[in-house]
Chain A
Amino acid sequence: MVKFNTICRSGQERSTNADITKVYRNPNPKVHPLAHAREYQRALVATKVEKIYAQPFLGALNGHSDGVSCIEACRFNLSKLVSGSYDGEIRIWDIPSRRTLIQLNAHQQMVKGVSFSRDGMRVVSSGEDKTINLYDFPQLLEQSNNTFQEPLMRYLSKGTLGNVDHNYQLSQFATAGQVVQVWDYERPKPIMKFQWGVDSVSCVKYSPADSNLICGTSMDRCVILYDVRAESAIHKVAMLNKSQCLAWNPIEPLNIVIGNDDSNCYTYDIRKIEQPTMIHKDHISAVMSVAFSSSGREFVSGSFDRTIRIFPFNKGYSREVYHGQRMQQVNSVSFSADAQFVYSGSNDMNIRIWKVNASQKVGTINQREANATNYRQALKEKFKYNPEIKRIAKHRHLPKYLMNKKKQRQEMKESKNRKQRNAELNNPGQYEAPKPEKQQRVEQFIQ
């Protein structure tokens, strides 16, 4: 802003009072003088409106008589979901009507993992009782009242079992446990076994794009990569804490996300597994389950801190956090195949359905409405760096225990940094520059 105090008048004299000197401006509508201000106001309103209409919780599926240990949404049919609980019960749900289609007393002990085949015709489950059950879905539907249906095939494992994951292309599935085993429908014994080290593997997942690659997380804090064609694993990386779960990016089959017990998620590139490419922070307790959206642009994580968070695949912090008063520790999460909904199974025996975008309208949206929402989203994206809009968009109401823990963590982090800084200042030359955090989290890379 420049202020001019003129001493000399200009040569032009006003002949009448009405002869006001004109102020010229660019008539081009694109350089409208108030365009920016108006769009800012609209963006502000859009962020506030989004807050007002944010209602992410759609409903709960209740029926299990014990905590839900594992869930998976069908990869073919949008309305089907399979869940297993701590008492060995398996339920298959119809989501639109929110009722149980099939109820099975499948295992003697806790159900460790459930998985749908790619075409939605087969369901596999693994239990703590060292058995793997393979069910035929149409057959189950036929006798939906019979809770003691015999599976199509029952496989017996020598060692304890972890979760089970069905191959995306072939009629095979892999199980975690003391030994990582690959099973075929037709064979009673595993067609492949992988063992590396002493401790067991807690979770394995097939690559959705490549039928040969399996990734697993082991109890000895390692992330291991297997190739079914080879006789042994490919390589592994040992971290500081144990990892419970992992998920493959279905659109970028080079990247995996791991949920760790240190309350962070880590993205790894399997070409360079020596260190993670990104750390996703926000949870305050161990991450129990992660699942990738089928669009590959975001993933959901369920944690022991009783919250669900949605992270963008390339951002360090979460976009959204969902929690409920009655929701307990989240054991398992899953994305719907059309990337619109998130399902969470928790210790409180319920399966909850959440919207991915909290303020999005469910149901048919006409073109005008869609255009308006698009415009609002674009405005929000444009003004996302603006402090006021950023503050409103970022704010989430959190329960007290979370807020306190978050504060405490922040204080701990600050004091640690302060200590480090003071030590360096008082003993110059004795300390090396600290390693980047990504390197710090990895203990060892083993080829």
Chain B
Amino acid sequence: MGKLNKEQRLEKQLAKKVEKQDAYQQVKLQETPDDDFNVANLIQTLEDQGQQIDSVKTQYLRVHEKAVRLINQIQRIVQEPETQAERDLQERKVAATVMKQDIKKWLPIVKKNRESERLDFTKQRNVQISKISDTSNALLNNHLGVKLQNAMEEVEKVEQKQELNGQSNQQKGNLQFYNDLKMKKISSIKSKIYKQIKKKKGNKEKLKLMAQLTPAERRKEIEKLRLSRAKERITLRHSTKNKYVSQLLRFGGDKKSLKQQQSFLNNLKHQLLAKAQLNELEDGEFDEENFREQAITQLEQELLDIERREKEKQNNFGFLDKQKKQDLQQSKSIAQKLLTMLKSGNDDAIQLDESDNQEQNSDDNYEPNGNGDKDKTKTNVENNEFNGRANFVNETKQLTEAQKKKIDAKTSLSNYLNLEPEKQQQQNKIEKQLTVQEEKKQLIEGLNIKNIKQKYEKQVNQKLTNQDLKKLQSDPDELLQQNLANFNLVLDEDENENAFIDEKIKDMEEELPPEPANTKGWGSWAGFGIKEKKPLTQEQILQNKIKKIREVQKKRLDAKLDNVIISEKRDAKFAKYLVPKLPSEFANSQQFDQLHTLPLGPEWNSLTSHSALTQPQIITKAGVVINPVKIPQQINKLV
């Protein structure tokens, strides 16, 4: 029965086509059973032969007849000529396939052009600096494509070789040109020996001229020369680090310099002081007059020396001579003062001396420098700080006569000092404060405020209020004061912390959206029977605000960081360098940023890379005709 079904389907399909047939064809179809001799004959013979034919068999035969008829119909349809439209369609299909196959030869060229970094149309053929990624080349499946690409590569190789040859020739030419230039330049340069000879000649001529001059004129000339040479040596043009020059500059050209002299004086003072101190400590007898005489003789010698050097010849350099004079006068004045002090032993003289020296030594009060020459002047060594204690000691001790003398001198001096330099005391106070602050800093260093607070509260064993602290501040106890100072600092920091928190809250408040103006009736329904809304109380407003701030706080980056404020504001000044939205050409922001990492300018690149980076993608030149794309001959042969 399967066969039958198939036949029926065929019938249906072909029925449509049969309908389209012309009338003569239908007539022919009707005639077909007559032409079917074999089957008819069979039936006839069967009828003749036997009367044993079943009704089933006859049915089967009828069906068979039909099938045969259909087969014949199909044969006829195939043999018939096609319509014009059908033929055209066939033609077009073939043409399309041929065209598509034909076009494929352009694909590698087009692909290369699209993928190349730049197209240079100024050359003969539009050859590109290519970077084809062969991996994703669908063309490789195609036989023709593979052949084409191989051939293209070969062609390119040849071209590259030619280009290289051309380049090397050009390079050689360039090198030769530069070499020629260099040789020209060298030929124009004169040698060292030539210059030396020329100089010698010049000198000889100068000497001849000098011989003709009078002695006075000659001396002037020589002095001029000396001056010019010295200036040359000293000036920065030849910044020499010669010993001679450096000494000239520092001490004015003498071997035994003034500075050395001053240092000698200082040494002398030191010696005197040391001796005085020893005497005081040991309470032994001090050969005062002998010591004074020695000092006086030494000082007189010094003065003589200074005078002698003042009379010496001058250096011819104005600036050096001035300096030398100043230095000499200084040392002379010091020496004279010392002398008068030693000779007279008067308080007035000492006072003068002190007032002079205090200015110099106000910086280093702690160090026992030699400010005075004698035991009397030694008091200066002791600082104002220690005056009180010294007085105390002086009062309590029983004194010898010699000691009394010394003390008198001391007290007189100290009184004078106490009267005069109030400024100094102030300075000292500031310094003290500074030192205390430093100590505090050392204490706090590396610790959190909370820890310090806890530490001090533990020490005191109670929680302190500000009033308590004020009371404590008036207490004279030193240790307590020290502790207090530290605690004050902690308190200060506490205030700072509060300020910090305030700032953070303020920052969050700024982030809140602006509240709408509370105008009555706006944004609410109007009409009869509508209840009026009560305006919010201030407390409610505050609570709402706090709620909002908490919401804002959760979103912030620094929500969990107590000691940090992270500002998330966008800098308006910087915004102009940024892009509001990622351009569609880029998949992610990293790709886009890559565009900006490399600057193009000549300041940040070598000249070659700069020119390579800034070359345009399409290079055309006025006057160079660009021909349509053409497949190279080698490839054309393959095609």
Interface residues of A (CB under 8 A from B): 1-5, 7-9, 11, 13, 29-30, 32, 35-40, 42, 75-76, 78, 168, 208-210, 212-213, 225, 227, 229-235, 250-254, 270-271, 294-297, 337-340, 362, 371, 374-375, 377-379, 382, 385-388, 447
Contacts and interface: CB of A to CB of B under 8 A. Distances in A.
Contacts of A209: 106, 628-630
A5 B596 contact: no
Nearest to A236: B92
B628 A378 contact: no
Contact of B446 (A11, A297, A339, A379): A11
A377 B628 CA distance: 26
B447 A8 contact: yes
Contacts of A225: 99
B628 A294 contact: yes
The 4 closest A-B pairs by CB, nearest first: A230-B95, A208-B628, A294-B626, A378-B614
A375 B601 contact: yes
A34 to B, nearest CB: 10
A371 B611 contact: yes
B92 A39 contact: no
B620 interface: yes
A387 B448 CA distance: 47
B480 interface: no
Interface stretch (B55-63, B301-309, B547-555, B569-577): B569-577
Nearest to B571: A1
B103 A251 contact: no
A1 B618 CA distance: 41
Contacts of B107: 254
A69 to B, nearest CB: 25
Contacts of B110: 251-252, 254
Nearest to B449: A7
* Most central of B107, B447, B577, B626 by chain A CB within 10 Å: B626
Given A253-B106, A385-B579, A8 B444 contact: yes
B205 interface: no
A35 B601 contact: yes
Contacts of A11: 445-446
B613 A378 contact: yes
A234 B500 contact: no
Interface stretch (B287-295, B406-414, B416-424, B559-567): B559-567
B622 A35 contact: no
B126 interface: yes
Contacts of B628: 168, 208-209, 250-251, 253, 294
A340 B563 CA distance: 65
B96 interface: yes
Nearest to A248: B628
B623 A78 contact: yes
B163 interface: no
Contacts of A387: 579-580
Given A9-B445, A227-B99, A338 B620 contact: yes
Nearest to B94: A230
Contacts of B563: 5, 7
A1 B567 contact: yes
A5 B500 CA distance: 8
B620 A234 contact: no
Contacts of A388: 576
Contacts of B438: 13
6 contacts: A7-B563, A8-B448, A30-B605, A32-B599, A39-B600, A387-B579
A406 B392 CA distance: 103
A234 B622 CA distance: 38
Interface of A, secondary structure class, is loop
A208 B631 CA distance: 12
B153 interface: no
Nearest to B500: A5
B488 to A, nearest CB: 16
Interface of B: 88-89, 91-96, 98-100, 102-103, 106-107, 110, 113-114, 119, 121, 126, 438, 441, 444-449, 493, 496-497, 500, 503, 563-569, 571, 576-577, 579-580, 583, 592, 595-596, 598-605, 610-611, 613-616, 618, 620-630
Nearest to A388: B576
Given A8-B446, A232-B91, A294-B626, 19 more contacts: A1-B571, A2-B564, A3-B565, A8-B444, A8-B445, A8-B448, A29-B603, A212-B102, A229-B95, A230-B94, A232-B88, A235-B96, A254-B110, A271-B100, A294-B628, A296-B629, A338-B625, A340-B620, A374-B616
Contacts of B94: 230
Contacts of B601: 35, 38-39, 42, 375
Contact of B583 (A227, A254, A385): A385
A403 to B, nearest CB: 25
Contacts of A210: 102-103
Contacts of B95: 227, 229-230, 232-234
A297 B618 contact: yes
Nearest to A75: B625
Contacts of B595: 382
Given A209-B106, A339-B620, A387-B580, A234 B96 contact: yes
A297 B114 CA distance: 10
Nearest to A364: B622
Contacts of A374: 611, 614-616
A109 to B, nearest CB: 32
A72 to B, nearest CB: 15
Contact of B121 (A339, A375, A386): A339
B113 A378 contact: no
Contacts of A296: 113, 629
A362 B623 CA distance: 11
B139 to A, nearest CB: 13
A231 B94 CA distance: 11
Given A9-B445, A387-B579, A294 B625 contact: yes
Contacts of B441: 9, 13
Contact of B579 (A212, A271, A294, A386): A386
Contact of B576 (A7, A40, A340): A40
B144 to A, nearest CB: 15
A233 B95 CA distance: 8
Contacts of A1: 567-569, 571
B579 A7 contact: no
B571 A250 contact: no
A210 B98 CA distance: 13
Contact of B126 (A29, A251, A375): A251
B230 to A, nearest CB: 35
A377 B616 contact: yes
B615 to A, nearest CB: 6
Given A30-B599, A385-B583, A447 B622 contact: no
Contacts of A233: 92, 95
Given A234-B96, A374-B616, A251 B89 contact: no
Contacts of A7: 449, 493, 496-497, 500, 563
A297 B616 contact: no
* Most central of B88, B99, B596 by chain A CB within 10 Å: B99
Contacts of B605: 30
B528 to A, nearest CB: 34
A387 B582 CA distance: 12
A1 B438 CA distance: 33
B468 to A, nearest CB: 24
Given A5-B565, A251-B113, A338-B626, A35 B604 contact: yes
Contacts of B493: 7
Contacts of A295: 119, 121, 618, 620, 626
A5 B89 CA distance: 83
B92 A5 contact: no
A15 to B, nearest CB: 12
B623 A29 contact: no
B567 A447 contact: no
Nearest to A294: B626
A362 B497 CA distance: 69
A375 B447 CA distance: 56
A99 to B, nearest CB: 20
